[in-house]
């Protein structure tokens, strides 16, 4: 079978690479062509465009790079049409991928599979119309999405397990956790996130640096020079491509909201979740009025309760981060959070997501009963 995959970010590159390996195991004749990254390229076949040339976040950056974005979309559509894969597999990255899905569905007979479904339960719920129209099969990695899609929107999906849970389980099996006096900083994977969040994280942790090492997880898509202005003279260390190693040793963490909050929980590291926004008072108000969910962190969304403290928009401040960090370094708040993590891990289950998804995709392509 010929599989065309599209991943637009570092996390998508990681998850898509694991899915590709699983597809190769079940389909010895698998061929891949893809928009993605180095991890997908390491699995093999043809990298058409690297995600570094796709990842623009925010209204202004998107506007400034609109000709590039539109050019990439046009090239992707043309490439799919010319290569004629047996299926197109979209991996997260909804702004780009839903546009591709619309094109593929309207112009070809190629089935569209969406691995790691768009998070429309939080924002842009209207996209359900596009998904129902353009996506043949949706593969979810978050258990609470089943109720949202199937009960609220009457659109059947596949919950296949969670790849982060798979990856952390495998890592811990090979390298058991050994905690040290480390506070980890996970400041995001994009420059804007880092610029907005890292300075406050560093300032908040200063009182604890006599007793703890403070270590920042460098994002693979960010050049080391970008971090220099933030870290110079701070005493904060930085490591690259060692996030799991760092979390396995950390006593606590300050984490920018995103997949990293879930990974931190899976390593059972108590954390403070924070995310600075422009116009914090307005965003704080809008969050309550416009967002469809009570929480922003995956940990709390999966648990359906406030396991970790979220400091977002109008609650984001150095003082608040420092206060919440103090609570989880020791004592009852730390133990309560760890108990909440146990419930999150239970709800995720133990299915191996890429293997499960690959099996379903292969059966669908071969018209087999699932």
Contacts of residue 129, Cβ cutoff 8 Å, sequence gap at least 6:
none
Tokens of 185: 């900083």
The conformation of residue 57, written as its DSSP 8-state character, comes to: -
Query: 285 vs 334, which has greater pLDDT?
Result: 334
Query: Stretch 235-248: mean pLDDT, rounded?
Result: 95
CB atoms < 10 A from the CB of 50, how many?
16
DSSP 337: H
Structure tokens at 286: 């809008």
Handedness of CA 268, 307, 185, 8 (dihedral sign): positive
Q: Which of 267, 362, 358, 370 is nearest to 18 (CA)?
A: 358
What Cα–Cα distance (Å) separates residue 215 from each residue in 35, 137, 242, 251?
32, 40, 11, 11
d(CA 154, CA 173): 39
Task: Give the CA dihedral 302, 306, 308, 314, nearest 10 degrees.
Answer: 120
pLDDT of residue 77: 96
3-class DSSP state of 232: coil
Rounded CA-CA distance 270/42 in Å is 34
DSSP state of 270: -
What confidence category does residue 296 fall into, taking pLDDT thresholds of 50, 70 and 90? Answer: confident
pLDDT of residue 61 exceeding 70, the answer is: no
pLDDT of residue 294: 83
Note the pLDDT of residue 288. Answer: 55
* Beta strand residue intervals within the chain, DSSP E: 2-7, 31-36, 46-50, 87-91, 112-115, 137-140, 158-159, 182-186, 213-218, 237-240, 252-256, 271-275, 309-312
Domain annotation for the chain: domains and CATH numbers: 2-161+351-365 (3.40.50.2000), 167-348 (3.40.50.2000)
Beta bridge partners of 35: 6, 49
Q: How far apart are alpha carbons 358 and 185 in whole angstroms?
A: 34
The answer to whether 177 touches 268, Cβ cutoff 8 Å, is: yes
Distance CA 118, CA 96 (A): 11
Instruction: Supply φ then ψ for residue 179, to 5 degrees.
Output: -75, 140
CB–CB of 91/115 below 8 Å?
yes
User: Per residue in 85-102, pLDDT tens?
Assistant: 999 999 999 989 999 999
| Greater model confidence, 289 or 294 | 294
Detail the DSSP E strand segments found in 276-358. 309-312
Q: Is the pLDDT of residue 56 over 50?
A: yes
Give the pLDDT score at 290.
Answer: 53
pLDDT band at 60 (very low <50, low <70, confident <90, very high): very low
Query: What does pLDDT average to over the chain?
Result: 91
DSSP assignments along 246-261, one per residue: HHHH-SEEEEESSHHH
- Asked whether 306 and 271 are in contact (CB, 8 A), the reply is no
Q: What is the Cα–Cα distance from 231 to 350, expressed in whole angstroms? A: 39
Q: Do 13 and 51 meet the contact criterion of CB atoms below 8 Å apart?
A: yes
Condensed to tens digits (0 to 9), the pLDDT of residues 89-135 reads 999 999 899 999 999 999 999 999 999 999 999 888 999 999 999 99
User: Which pTM does this prediction carry?
Assistant: 0.86
**35 by DSSP, 3-state: which?**
strand
Q: How does residue 178 score in pLDDT terms, banded at 50, 70 and 90?
A: confident
């Amino acid at each position: 079978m010929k599989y065309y995959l599209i991943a637009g970010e570092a996390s998508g590159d990681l998850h898509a690479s694991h899915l590709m390996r699983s597809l190769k195991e079940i389909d010895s004749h698998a061929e891949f062509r893809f928009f993605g990254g180095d991890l997908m390229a390491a699995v093999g076949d043809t990298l058409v465009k690297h995600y570094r040339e796709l990842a623009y976040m925010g209204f202004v950056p998107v506007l400034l790079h609109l000709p590039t974005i539109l050019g990439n979309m046009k090239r992707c559509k043309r490439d799919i049409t010319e290569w004629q894969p047996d299926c197109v597999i979209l991996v997260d990255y909804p702004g780009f991928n839903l546009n591709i899905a619309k094109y593929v569905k309207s112009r070809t007979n190629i089935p569209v599979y969406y691995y790691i479904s768009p998070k429309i339960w939080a924002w842009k719920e209207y996209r359900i119309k596009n998904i129902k129209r353009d996506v043949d099969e949706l593969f979810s990695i978050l258990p609470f999405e089943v109720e949202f899609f199937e009960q609220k929107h009457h659109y059947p999906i596949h919950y296949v397990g969670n790849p982060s849970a798979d990856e952390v389980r495998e890592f811990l099996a090979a390298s058991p956790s050994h905690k040290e006096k480390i506070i980890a900083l996970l400041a995001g994977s994009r420059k804007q996130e880092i610029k907005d969040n890292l300075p406050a994280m560093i300032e908040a942790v200063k009182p604890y640096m006599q007793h703890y090492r403070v270590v920042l997880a460098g994002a693979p898509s960010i050049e080391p020079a970008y971090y220099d202005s933030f870290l110079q003279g701070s005493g904060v260390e930085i490591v690259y491509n060692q996030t799991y190693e760092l979390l396995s040793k950390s006593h606590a963490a300050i984490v920018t909201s995103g997949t990293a909050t879930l990974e931190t929980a899976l390593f059972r590291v108590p954390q403070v979740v924070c995310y600075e926004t422009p116009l914090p008072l307005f965003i704080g108000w809008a969050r309550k009025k416009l967002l469809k969910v009570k929480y922003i962190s995956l940990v709390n969304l999966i648990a359906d309760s406030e396991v970790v403290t979220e400091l977002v928009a109008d609650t984001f401040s150095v003082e608040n981060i420092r206060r919440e960090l103090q609570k989880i370094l020791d004592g009852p708040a730390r133990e309560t959070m760890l108990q909440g993590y146990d419930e999150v891990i239970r709800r995720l289950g133990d299915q191996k997501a890429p293997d499960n998804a690959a099996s379903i995709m292969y059966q669908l392509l071969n018209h087999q009963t699932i």
